[in-house]
Every structure is written in structure tokens, then in C-alpha cells.
Amino acid sequence: MASLFPPSFETLIDRFASLPGVGRKSAQRLAFYILSLPEGEAEAFAGAITDARQRVHTCPVCQNLTDGPLCPICASGRRDNSVICVVAEPRDVASVERSREYNGSFHVLHGVLSPLNRVGPADIRIRELVERVSKGGVREVIMATNPDTEGDATAMYISRLLKPFGVLVTRLAYGIPVGSNLEFADDATMLRALEGRREI
């Protein structure tokens, strides 16, 4: 006998176990937790899944997640649309916004180029970015992908695509993190920090 749990409980365990990073044991624990919830809370959980899946889509302009016709940033009349900051994931938008300094628009790629994981240019939102730039009115594109091999390769690839449009393509500065300690800076970061040194 495989299990002595009732079928509808097994189904719930299977569902949780299908989530990324959730093993069989955790799935069981989560399913037990759902049973322990008041019925209204369990309904609300189910509703949140349906709701998010139905309502959330990508902004037709910047590809960020939204549940309106445009995302709040693209819908706002107070952003500088001649600058586009390109990020890999929706969560990266919040990171850039945290600087409280950036007032341009965004473009979310939903991934980075990764030959090993079979992610090619057609699998992320590069075409949409090129279209935006080709329409004109864009002065600068800031590449804000992660400072790793795949992020760098993606930034390089996109910058080559955009060069023909005569747009300035920049990328975030590499260097020692503010508040960090020189002692803990790795070789690569220190090298980039030296290369990028500025007069004070």
C-alpha cells in the first residue's frame, strides 16, 4: 500500500510537492497545515491562487507584472520615458527603485540568456525591448542585469542589438558595496573597483 491518507489529501500533497524546492516531506507538512486552517482561510488561500493567476499579466510596455492595463510606473505621467533600465526579473525593479534616485522607465526581461539552461534570445523579452527602442524617443538604456556570467553576457548581447539605433547603452557600476569592508572584497570585485575608480 502506498499511503493511508484519503485521496483528496494525497492530491493536495502532490500539488504542494510539484512546487519548486518543495520535497515530499514539506508538502505533507504544508497539506496538514491547510487542514488545520479555518475553512474560510483555506478558501482564501485557494482564491489567492486563482486570483493572481487570472489577474496578473505583464505590462505591454515594460513587461513588468501588473493587474491593470499598464503597470503603475508606465501609467505614471511623471517618469522619464527616454531612459530605460533593463532588469532580469520583476523583483529587480523594486531593487532599483530602492535607490530613490531613478526616475526613468523599466524593461523586464524575465530571465537572462543561458545556453546551459537552453534559454536563448527568443525565450526572454528582448524583442519587446528592441521594438521599444526602435520607435525612437529613447536616449539611454541602462543594463541592470546581475553582475555574473549570464547577466554580463545578456547585457553584452542586448547592447550590440541596440547600438544600430544610436542609443547610449550603459551598465551599473561594479565596485565595493557601500558599508562593506575592503577585507572581504573578492579579487574580481576589487579589480572592477580599481578599474572604475573616479577622481574625488
Residues interacting with a copy of itself, by CB under 8 A?
1, 3-9, 11-12, 14-15, 19-22, 26, 28-35, 37, 39, 42-56, 64-68, 71-73, 90-91, 93-94, 97
> Of the two residues 37 and 188, which places its CB atom closer to a copy of itself in the complex?
37
Cα(197)–Cα(66) distance, rounded to whole angstroms?
A: 39
Shortest CA distance to 173 belongs to which of 191, 193, 199? 193
Report the distance separating Cα 152 and Cα 144, nearest Å: 9
Task: Pick the closer one to a copy of itself by CB: 64 or 154.
Answer: 64
Type of residue numbered 80: D
Residue closer to a copy of itself, measured from CB, 75 or 168: 75
Other Cβ atoms within 10 Å of 193 Cβ, number:
16
Q: Is 101 exposed, middle or buried, given 0-12, 13-18 or 19+ CB atoms closer than 10 A?
A: exposed
CB of residue 144 to a copy of itself, shortest distance in Å: 14
| Cβ closest to a copy of itself, residue 111 vs residue 121 | 111
- C-beta separation of 106 from 142 below 8 A: no
Which of 95, 192, 98, 97 minimizes the C-alpha distance to 147? 192
Q: How far is the CB of 148 from a copy of itself (least distance, A)?
A: 18
Q: What is d(CA 62, CA 71) in angstroms, rounded to the nearest whole number? A: 8
Q: Measured from the CB of residue 161, what is the shortest distance to a copy of itself in angstroms?
A: 26
Cβ 87 to a copy of itself, closest distance in Å? 11
Nearest distance, CB of residue 172 and a copy of itself, angstroms: 18
Nearer to a copy of itself, 18 or 181 (CB): 18
